[in-house]
Amino acid sequence: MLAIHTEDIKIASRDLGEICRIASFVFLIPILVTLYYTKSYDLFFLVKRISVFVIPALILYLLYLGFKKVRLDVPSKTKHMMITVSIAWLIVALIGAFPYALSGTLGPLDSFFESMSGLTTTGMTMIQFPEELLDGKRDVLFYRSLTQWIGGVGIIVLAMIVFLRKGTAAIEYYSSEVGGLKIKPSIKSTIIETWKIYGLYTLACFILLFLGGMTIFDAVNHSLTTLPTGGFSTHSESIGYFHDPVIELIIIIFMLVGGTSFILHFRAFEGKPSHLFRNIEFRYMIMLLVVGFVICSYELYISDPGLGDFQISLFQTVSIMTTTGFGTADIGEWAFLSKTILLILMLIGGSYGSTGSGIKVLRAVAILKTIVHSIKKAILPKTAVVRLKLGDKSIHYDEIIYVISFLAAYLIITLIGILVFTALGYGGYESVSVSLSAISNVGPTYLSSDAWFSIPDIGKIILILLMWIGRLEVFPVLILLASIVYKRKSHKI
């Protein structure tokens, strides 16, 4: 049964406590930026600025102390983990809204929106002119970028060390974030190794961006939002603000790094870079990027010939497919074929086990292989044995059922979002881009700036839900909701 029982609540509470404890320390990091950039010697002013981050950290730690009282030696099962990560993401995102609200940057709903967008690495923003925060609120800008860096691998993956102490189902959810294969003998060491690689790439990105011409502050923030394929920028023009081919090339490289499976990165660090090019998912991702780049470049070139079109097209196709969302051009003004290609890339997203979102290239390839397999079965004699394979691995029936059901659920939820925005008066193409961009955690849409910043509250709430559902890969949220429904039904009976 899916119904939540008392013991289920206790198990979820126990694990939620540890997540809250870890998250509480993360909220204190931006205080270093506050202290560095605060010019005033007014103690009251300084305490007020620091409290913006201390208050949410304190709330999370108090939640940890409350949850800590729950004592159970029962191991977490898959259902418990799904429920825990769903609730944890909401709690951290809700409390993560405090710095925006307490600093006066955004209103309550917009603060929650910004927090959810950061933690899910979506990059949709309600801050119309981020550069205005450079004067007096750099700590808020840094915090905003930090949420994407944490969300890249996932606050839940960071807290997974807690689950590993209990044994059992951790591998199942961990596989959806970092990859189905272990890169170290134990899952705990796998997670630690992943964070090492993640941190090393972030440092490399910062150094190159700084050498490429960014200020230290811009380089720090963009390195924190590039590798996690997040897309938050310190400027309203995004990467287009810099007008620098070198910076764009560096960003492209690290967007691809973030959109590629961390399993492959680890193999490369082991001295086995050939794994990268043998990987069927990586090959398909590159193929899709090349096709998208060629089509978009052609359409841009014939409308307004210039070498810059190829650079813009390359940047935008990589940015969209890796679900980063950085921009160097207004894609809402592109021709319909190019915009359709970008929508397809939004849906597919990055590699399985990367920081990218979407349905993932691996699942898209599996669905394509299934279609081809079905055609072969229909054409060949019934006695013919046709194996369904993904690379060298045979695909089992249960795996196909899961992938197809995941895609169906993903598309149905996306459609609901489209219908809501259509009902709110937005055009069909714009509604598709908004809903798909939110659930795939991409960021850019085909709405104009004025239309975006005038979205009604109900639209923002729908986008928050889509970002949450998409980042958690649908099923954890569905299991949480199903548990609540079954619980209510059991009470009625």
Domain count, the chain: 1
pLDDT digits (tens, 9 = 90+) for 101-160: 999 999 999 999 999 999 999 999 999 999 999 888 999 999 999 999 998 876 545 434
- The model's pTM is 0.89
d(CA 166, CA 15): 10
CA torsion sign for 116, 120, 125, 129 is positive
Phi, psi (5° rounding) for residue 449?
-60, -40
Contacts of 485 (CB under 8 A, 6+ apart): none
d(CA 272, CA 274): 5
- What's the mean per-residue pLDDT of the chain? 84
Tokens 């690379």 -> residue: 391
3-state secondary structure of 456: coil
Angle between helices 457-471 and 108-119 (to 10 degrees): 20
pLDDT digits (tens, 9 = 90+) for 18-45: 788 888 999 999 999 999 988 777 788 8
- Structural domain includes residue 139: no
Angle among Cα 342, 345, 347 to the nearest 5 degrees reads: 115
Task: Write down the pLDDT at residue 7.
Answer: 62
Q: What residues make up the domain containing 460?
A: 392-492
- Structural domain includes residue 210: no
Q: Among 433, 218, 443, 434, which residue's Cα sits nearest to residue 324?
A: 443
- Structural domain includes residue 112: no
CA torsion sign for 321, 327, 329, 331 is positive
- Choose between 200 and 401: higher pLDDT: 200
> Is it the case that residue 289 has pLDDT exceeding 70?
yes
The total number of residues shown for the chain amounts to 493
- Structural domain includes residue 322: no
pLDDT digits (tens, 9 = 90+) for 340-377: 999 999 999 988 778 888 998 888 888 888 888 788 87
Task: Write down the pLDDT at residue 254.
Answer: 96
pLDDT digits (tens, 9 = 90+) for 162-174: 433 443 333 433 3
> Is it the case that residue 441 has pLDDT exceeding 90?
yes
Q: Say which DSSP state 307 is in.
A: T
pLDDT digits (tens, 9 = 90+) for 306-337: 656 788 999 999 999 999 999 999 998 898 99
d(CA 227, CA 211): 17
Phi, psi (5° rounding) for residue 37?
-95, -10
d(CA 205, CA 247): 10
Among the ranges given (184-193, 351-360, 413-422, 468-477), the one the predictor scored with the smallest mean pLDDT: 184-193
- Structural domain includes residue 451: yes
Task: Write down the pLDDT at residue 8.
Answer: 63
Q: Among 10, 234, 236, which residue's Cα sits nearest to residue 144?
A: 234
d(CA 266, CA 275): 10
Average pLDDT over residues 453-472: 95
With residues binned 3-state (H G I as helix, E B as strand, rest as coil), the percentages for the chain, rounded to 5, are 70, 0, 30
d(CA 256, CA 209): 16
- Structural domain includes residue 102: no
Q: Among 34, 33, 29, which residue's Cα sits nearest to residue 49?
A: 34
- Choose between 178 and 285: higher pLDDT: 285
Task: Write down the pLDDT at residue 177.
Answer: 39
Task: Write down the pLDDT at residue 490.
Answer: 52
Task: Write down the pLDDT at residue 176.
Answer: 39
Q: Say which DSSP state 239 is in.
A: G
Q: In angstroms, what CA-CA distances link 61 with 24, 25, 473? A: 6, 9, 27
Task: Write down the pLDDT at residue 74.
Answer: 62
- Choose between 415 and 183: higher pLDDT: 415
- Structural domain includes residue 488: yes
- Choose between 83 and 199: higher pLDDT: 199
Q: Among 390, 391, 346, 393, which residue's Cα sits nearest to residue 367?
A: 390
CA torsion sign for 172, 177, 180, 183 is negative
pLDDT digits (tens, 9 = 90+) for 419-439: 999 999 999 999 999 999 999
Task: Write down the pLDDT at residue 164.
Answer: 39
- Structural domain includes residue 399: yes
